[in-house]
Chains A and B, each alone.
Chain A
Amino acid sequence: MMEELEGVVEIVEVEPTEGEGFIVVEGFPDVGLVGTIAASFLADRLQMKEVGYIESDILPPIISIRNGKVLDLIRLYRKNNLIVVISEIPIPLPLIRPLSQKIVDWAMSKNAKMIISLTGMPEPARLDIDTPRVFVLGSNKKISEDALKIEGVTAFTDGFIAGVKGMILRESIRKDFNALLILSQAHFNYPDPGSAAEVLRYLSKLLSIDIDIKPLLESAEELKLRLRDLMRRTSQAMQDVQKSRELELPAVYL
Chain B
Amino acid sequence: MYNLIGAGLIVIGAGIGLGQIGGKAMEGIARQPEATGKIQTAMIIIAALLEGLAFGALFLGK
> Do the two chains bind?
no
Interface residues of B (CB under 8 A from A): none
